[in-house]
Amino acid sequence: MNEEKQVIVALDVASNDEMLQMLKKIHRPGCYVKVGMELYLQNGADIVRILKSEGYSVFLDLKLHDIPHTVYRAMKGLARLGADMINVHAAGGAEMMRAAAEGLGEGAQSERPICLAVTQLTSTDQTMLENELLIKRPIDEVITQYASLAYSSGMDGVVCSAWEAQKIKNQTSSEFLAVTPGIRLTDDDAGDQKRVASPAQARHLGSDYIVVGRSITAAADPEEAYQRVLDDWRNQTWKTTN
């Protein structure tokens, strides 16, 4: 796989103009980008069409979570946009995930987009899981259970922390994709993320793709920051030197 296509830049901005300005600063034509709820809901499906027409690969990060029939119909429509990767939330259950994969397959113009399930947000920790969500199990057990359910429901992979990637692959398949947000360069602030990793750590831990936001987009020089992330992702010495 093209290593540059394994680094997904999170375009966490609100408008089309901000998006285009950010892409100009990053200066990586045709790179992989993530369109989340903020950008999509305020600007609509044209955002995806614009990015695809400019040659970018697109991860449409909407985390759909609804009844199976609604998700099926939504995915059937979203597939026509040409996004390369789309996700749902695994908490919606097996029937919903099967419906999502079916809708994507029926709506796709050619190859079906990669369909992922979110296990737990990287802002979730054990305390939140127990005290707010009332799930009294270890967080890694909950995540691997969600991942196993996603695998058996026909998902292509999961969105998870890098720290759970290998355990998920061990429990499912080495081919089951691990797409990992919560990526920070070692000298960056973790912000509101709880389970963070550097690009090199993520690769060593089993990630297939990394999603990087503020470490690139909030940098003084986004182009230079992107290259630092890519160089760290390519770092083959992390295991022996860390």
Amino acid letter for position 142: V
Could you say which residues of the chain have pLDDT below 50?
Answer: 190, 192, 240-242
Annotated catalytic sites, by residue?
63
The reported pLDDT for the residue numbered 192 is 47
Amino acid letter for position 79: A
Strand partners, 9: 33, 212
How far CA 59 is from CA of 11, 70, 180, in Å, comes to 10, 21, 12
pTM: 0.92
Cβ(225)–Cβ(186) below 8 Å: no
Cβ(49)–Cβ(19) below 8 Å: no
The reported pLDDT for the residue numbered 236 is 65
The reported pLDDT for the residue numbered 45 is 95
The reported pLDDT for the residue numbered 239 is 54
pLDDT digits (tens, 9 = 90+) for 148-166: 999 999 999 999 989 999 9
